[in-house]
Amino acid sequence: MKRLAVAFLLLFSFLASAQNFEDRWSGFFSYVSVKDISEGDNKVFVGAENAVFTYDLSTKEIKTLSTVNGLSGDFITTIHYSETYKLLVIGYENGLIEIAIDGEENILKVVDILEKQTIPPNKKRINNFNEYNDKLYISTQYGISVFDLAALEFGDTYFIGDGGSQINITQTTVLEPYIFAASVSDGMRMAMVADDDLIDYQNWTTILSGGFSAVEKLGTELYAANYSNTVFRFTPDGTTTNVQTFASNIQKFRLADDLLTITTNKSIQSYSEGFVPEGSVSNVPGYDLDLLSGYAFGSNFYLGTAEDGLLIVPFTSNQPTQILPNGPIRNRPFAIDASPGQLWVSFGEVDVDFNPYFPDGLLSKRGISHLKDTLWTNIPYKDLDAAVGGEPTDLLKVTINPLNPEEVYMSSFQNGLLKIKDEKPTILYDESNSPLDRILVPLPGGGTADAGIRIFGSHFDPQGNLWFVQTKADEGLIKLSPNGQFQKIDITSVVANPLKELALGKLALSRENNVFIGSNSNGLLGYNPRTETFNKLSDGAGNLPSTSVRALAFDAQNQLWIGTLQGLRILYSPGGFFEAGETPETKPIIIVENGVRQELLFEQSITDIEVDGSNNKWIATANSGVFYFSPNGQETLLRFTKDNSPLPTNNVQDIAIDPFTGVVYFATTQGLVAYRGTATAPSDNLDNVHAFPNPVRPGYYGNVTIDGLTARANVKITDINGSLVFEETSEGGSVLWDTTAFGKYKVRSGVYLVLVTTNDATETKVSKIMIIR
């Protein structure tokens, strides 16, 4: 009966193959935080926060694996490379396991633990992998699961707590004839590894009490670490000998080359059998060590840092080599902005109520990142601070000057407005050097609290003026002219008590250069600079579904798309917003699905709206990924979620579009990815029509882009004999050709002519594409 009682909890493997998205997507993940390291076949395998990279010790080549290659984008906890089976196994916080097989493109997803109903969601964390005799012993928060590496399927699961309960196992090791399991609080447990009945908890013996963070064999000896950071030698009969107590927290035990590597958060050391020290590193020139993982093999230490990627330090010297894939400074971008060939990223953070002390009660002090062409430049926070002599905390908005793309402004939701010129921070506008005032908020018991200078939304007008807003200030709308002059505008006619407003948010300018402002609790605000008048839609007026307006964008028809905390609205006639005595009205978009009329994006929390060169709309949401709609919203052209795209999460905070290439960037709470769209901004003429890649070489299976087009240009492609193989009318400034003859078959090698005619037939252009099969 006892066996029957646990048998229903066995895991039966379900493998799914994840799609590779490299043909249309790019991933821009940060690899600075190294959670775990493995090695094999002369390569180092590095598990970063939610992506992986490999470093070839012979060729020095770095390769990355991310959601674009089929990884989930979830939070990685541990990795293991099997030299025997040429498999990289990746374990996650949520219980997911993914397997990358050498030489194969797709990633295998093992969802048994993730989807197991009898295991609580908070007990599915994968803590460690231990390979022994073709089996992978998986240490988890509920116990131990066994995975057959040859068959790629689960075997038994061991619940080895008292009475067969679930206990948190940190690591296992095998010293024949025993298997040892270290637990967080339920002692060190032992069983005969060859026992066919290890699912019976009574076949496991507790040999030591207490909690253990690690266990590993070293030759014929066993070593463990407790949560007092003491390492001791122990025997199967429970005899222990303290061998060393470390001054900082022990992170991991790892075994390679007959060396036990012990990593603490401040040091790494290796020991041979008998616990004989073979080397250590506690101070690396140029780096302030904060370690999460480590390994020692091949006469080198491999240090997995929290902020500096992988450091390789030889046993014989203290000179580090940093191994870090090109990428941004961290994986939680809050705001992005793009112009041709570049992207700027900031990493400030607020919660849904715009609390800047989220999530840990501290202001976010984080650097910024800049992608230019294909190269990332990262500016750490300490360099920002030093450059401007202030504290540019909580950078929530990025705005590139369209008239001078080398000039960028970032909004600090605590300390003012940061200006960057030629990739260098130059000034932080605050109370010491500008008319911006720090706001003091009265406290209920008397006195005041400093609410800082909370800058958020900003937008350039065609004359080069930067319009931006300051939350909690009476003069909350501000214009900064190109020559550095500030003009502050009182908003109390539409925001009666600015101190109670949690955030004045994003800005948008109409064709008439009227300024529209989203707010957290006062709805939609509008300002007409010519008449110096305000108006607002709030508290149910104008059909807004929520007074919390989170996204604004004007489209090519000068219609204002409004994203709120609870849905989407359109202001079709923004010119009438300021007419005296009128209450402007926004309207939902009503679509028909399966014969039923419904509101587009009903009650969706919208975080951003961007309009591309074809007047289509990209809309980001906090919970449902990204939508791509036709100009009037009646057709959903694309829908991207975590399940069908490289988005690492459905929480998308910002979108930016490169108007020249059509690349669409998505900033999510778990990383940055980009989709190679086709809707570039149309050109005024056909002088710069070109196709890429050109030539199309063997092995390339993607699309050819023809860009530099005018609006609604006709594009025809023929072979050298004049036979038509493709025809399309451009929506924006580019079209894609899949190198087929009207989708039927791939065209043969040869030269193909691209014939482009403007919509009014007044201009033509001929180009050529070489196809090499």
**In terms of Cα–Cα distance, which of 131, 119, 221 is closest to 168?**
119
234 forms beta bridges with 222, 240
pLDDT of residue 22: 87
Given pLDDT bands bounded at 50, 70 and 90, which one contains residue 13?
low
Higher pLDDT pick, 584 / 344: 344
Given pLDDT bands bounded at 50, 70 and 90, which one contains residue 462?
very high
pLDDT of residue 7: 31
Tell me what percent of the residues of the chain surpass a pLDDT of 70: 98
Higher pLDDT pick, 13 / 623: 623
Q: What is the dihedral of CA 139, 140, 143, 148, to 10 degrees?
A: -50
pLDDT of residue 4: 29
SS3 of 580-616: CCCCCCCECCEEEECCEEEECCCCCCEEEEEECCCCC
Domain ranges in the chain with CATH number 2.60.40.3110: 690-771
At 369-421, the pLDDT tens digits run: 999 988 999 999 999 999 999 999 999 999 999 999 999 999 999 999 999 99
The one-letter code for the residue type at 201 is Y
At 503-529, the pLDDT tens digits run: 999 999 999 999 999 999 999 999 999
pLDDT of residue 621: 99
pLDDT of residue 593: 87
Given pLDDT bands bounded at 50, 70 and 90, which one contains residue 9?
very low
Q: Would you say the C-alpha torsion 466, 471, 477, 481 has a positive or negative sign? A: negative
pLDDT of residue 702: 77
**Chain-centroid distance, C-alpha 197:** 43
Given pLDDT bands bounded at 50, 70 and 90, which one contains residue 11?
very low
- Give how far Cα 129 sits from Cα of 80, 203, 249, 304, 673, Å: 6, 22, 21, 18, 29
Tell me what percent of the residues of the chain surpass a pLDDT of 90: 88
User: Do 253 and 261 meet the contact criterion of CB atoms below 8 Å apart?
Assistant: yes
Rounded to whole angstroms, the Cα distance separating 510 from 508 reads 7
Higher pLDDT pick, 707 / 69: 69
Calculate ∠ Cα 85-88-89, nearest 5°. Answer: 105
pLDDT of residue 6: 34
pLDDT of residue 16: 61
The domain 690-771 is placed in CATH, from the list 3.40.50.1400, 2.30.30.790, 2.40.128.50, 2.60.40.3110, at 2.60.40.3110
Q: Residue 243, CB half-sphere, CA atoms under 13 Å: how many?
A: 18
pLDDT of residue 681: 84
SS percent in the chain: helix, strand, coil, step 5: 5, 50, 45
At 258-274, the pLDDT tens digits run: 999 999 999 999 999 99
- Give how far Cα 446 sits from Cα of 398, 440, 443, 492, Å: 37, 12, 5, 24
Is the confidence at residue 10, as pLDDT, over 70? no
At 182-228, the pLDDT tens digits run: 999 999 999 999 999 999 999 999 999 999 999 999 999 999 999 99
DSSP for 107-163, written as a single string: EEEE-HHHH-TTS-GGG--EEEEEEETTEEEEEESS-EEEEETTTTEEEEEE--SGG
pLDDT of residue 660: 86
- Show Cβ contacts of residue 288 under 8 Å, excluding neighbours closer than 6 positions: none
Q: What's the whole-number average pLDDT of the chain?
A: 94
- The pTM score is 0.91
